[in-house]
Every structure is written in structure tokens, then in C-alpha cells.
Amino acid sequence: MDKQFKSGRFALKTSLTPLEVLEVLVHGKPVLYRITIPEGLPWWKTARLLADQGFVSYDDFVAVVQDKAFLRRHGIPFANAEGFLMPDTYLLKREEQALAEGGENPKRVQAERIAARLIDTFWKRAAPLWPSGKKPASDDLKRFVILASIVEKETGRANERERVAGVYANRLARKMLLQADPTVQYGLGPSFSGRLLYRHLDDPKNAYNTYQHQGLPPGPICSFGTGALKAAIEPEKHDFLFFVARSDGGEHVFSKRLEDHNKAVEEYRKSVRKNRSEGVRWNTLLLKIFQDRKCPLFFPAEWTTPICVSRSPTQRLLRPVLSNLGLTAFSALAGMRNSVSRHDLRIPQ
């Protein structure tokens, strides 16, 4: 045949004849691979996720999402593509397939293709949400995507998004500091991990520190779903100015007055202290059971990695194991106070 073979990986049935195989190699579509990008990731975690699964070179993707010419072509008014790398499930070529295709600088081309795919998906998903049915002016666009990214990080509950957005809209209207912890964490950069400390909140050098700087931060702080964007465009109308997580890890407590908010915060802190104490006792008891009964013999291999002790998920994980060990007292253990703080537990090997 006078046509060239396509590069890439192809799915072939064992029943195909040689001519049918040749037809697939000439006219067929290469295999695509599935990847899910979840909501709430900053751009550097999206880059790492794509790189770890073989879709891009981390360094090339990082360079692309900060390239000024690339950002201009895709209508992004920030210093990087943060907020525009749309969370979704994609079918994509892997980097090895792009390298097989050849050409000039194939790694860079592959990174640009995938970044463009994510950004194009953002614009398509956002289009029905824009006020008046058209893309907003630059200042409005910036406000929408920055606020949407904060909402995404502050709550994972769909029924709270508009209310959370409304709190920040109210604080902006009153020229109050936003005081949003996720913005501070973002400003500390890719190397930061762990808990925020008071010194982080007091640091004016962090441009994303909304405890120190008035108004919205300089840019978005993560990729977000359409639910968060809708909430930012149409925040709930109310008089709330504060919110804090409930002690049971459920929805937030919203307050109109600082006095009420401080009471809610104190209740949350009391619960955390109590849960932490109970969680330590719970973990100590479980570890003793594991060691006394040599329970690793009953564990699948994947259970030798850390698991997180957090109420019912742990009980579901441990119930069959303890049952196999003949421990009839597990129901009593499970009957302990449900609020157990999160602690990493490594099954002894």
C-alpha cells in the first residue's frame, strides 16, 4: 500500500486477517487512555497527575501553563492557567504515543495539546453560565473564576456553594478581609504541606494571604467545577458574614454576627480536642489488638498501607477482619463515640 502507517497503539482482535490488521494500522484510531482530573487541584498537582500517568512531561506541562503566548491564545488573563484546567474525565493519548509520531519537540507539543484540551473544555462548560449568555469582560471574568476557586476549596457540598459565595460577596461589599485559609495555603506554593500556623496567617509577604491583603487574591487557587462557577456568578443573597465547619464534619455553621461566629468556632475547637483524645485511645486499642492477634496474617496485601481512621469507613474496613479473628467485642468498640479524629494507622507488617 502506498499509504503510511499511523503511529501509536492500536486495539486489535485476534480474529483479524492480515489485511484487516493493515487496514487498522493505516486508517484506524490509536488507543486513548482514560484519566480523571478531580476538582480542587492547583495547577502543579494537575501537572503531577498527568505526568505520573504518562500523559505529559511534568516540566513541559508546567512551562506551557505559564507561557504568556499560550495563555493569550486561550484567553486567560492571569500569569498561569490556574482555574482553567477543567476537572473532568478525559480520553487522551499518552506521551509515548506523541513521541512515536515524531516531529519537532514532541514533548512540548503533547503538553500544549493536553493543556489546550483542558482549557477548551473549561470555556465550553462555562459558556452556558455566563450572564447575558456571552463571555464576561476581563474584570468580571477574573472575579468569577477567583471566587469560584475559593468556593471549591471551602466546601464540597453542593447545597452550600451559593451560600459560601454569598458570604464572600458580602465581605467584599463591606470591604472586609476575606480571611480564607485556602488562599493562604495556595500562596505558600507547591512545597507546602501540613497545617496552617498563625505565622502563616500573619505573613504579609504572601500575596494570596487574605488575612493581610484586602479584596480577592491575585488569581484563582485551584481548578473548580461548574457548580462552584455558577455559585460565584450567582451567589446567594443573605446577611451572613462568617462560617465555620460543624464539629461533626458535616455542613458549616453560618453566622451574621462575630459573637455568634466566635461561639461556633469555640464549639468546633472543643469538639476537635475531645475527638483527638478519643481518637488516640481508639488507635492504641486497635494496634494492641492487631499486635496481640498477629492480624497481618488475615490482611490482603493492600491493607499493609496506611489507612485513615475516621468513623464509619474504618468500622467497615475493620469489621470483617476483627470478625475473622473471633472478636465478638467489635460491636462494643464500634459503639464508642462516633466522632473520631483522623489519624494515620499503618498496619504492622
- The cell for 17 is 486477517
User: Residues 120, 134: one domain?
Assistant: no
Burial class of residue 155, CB neighbours in 10 A (0-12, 13-18, 19+): buried
Q: Is residue 21 part of a domain?
A: no
Q: Report the amino acid identity of residue 194.
A: G
Task: Indicate the DSSP class of residue 134.
Answer: S
Cα 180 to the chain's mean position, in Å?
Answer: 17
Residue 64's CB: how many other CB atoms inside 10 A? 24
Best CA proximity match to 42, nearest among 94, 89, 92, 81: 81
Q: Is residue 66 part of a domain?
A: yes
User: Can you give the length of the chain in residues?
Assistant: 349
Pick out the chain residues at pLDDT < 50. 1-2, 294-315, 321-349
Range(s) of the domain holding residue 209: 130-240
User: Residues 101, 174: one domain?
Assistant: no
182 and 153 Cβ atoms separated by less than 8 Å: yes
- H runs (alpha helix) in 155-257: 161-173, 181-187, 198-201, 226-233
- Residue 29: the pLDDT is 59
- Residue 34: the pLDDT is 93
User: Residues 103, 157: one domain?
Assistant: no
Q: Is residue 18 part of a domain?
A: no
User: Residues 134, 224: one domain?
Assistant: yes
Boundary-marking domain end, from 95, 125, 155 = 125
pTM exceeding 0.75: no
User: Residues 107, 136: one domain?
Assistant: no
Q: Is residue 304 part of a domain?
A: yes
- Residue 309: the pLDDT is 39
Boundary-marking domain end, from 82, 110, 125 = 125
User: Residues 141, 232: one domain?
Assistant: yes
Q: Is residue 202 part of a domain?
A: yes
Q: Is residue 94 part of a domain?
A: yes
- Residue 345: the pLDDT is 34
Boundary-marking domain end, from 97, 125, 153 = 125
Per the structure, the count of domains in the chain is 3
Q: Is residue 11 part of a domain?
A: no
Q: Is residue 117 part of a domain?
A: yes
- The cell for 3 is 499509504
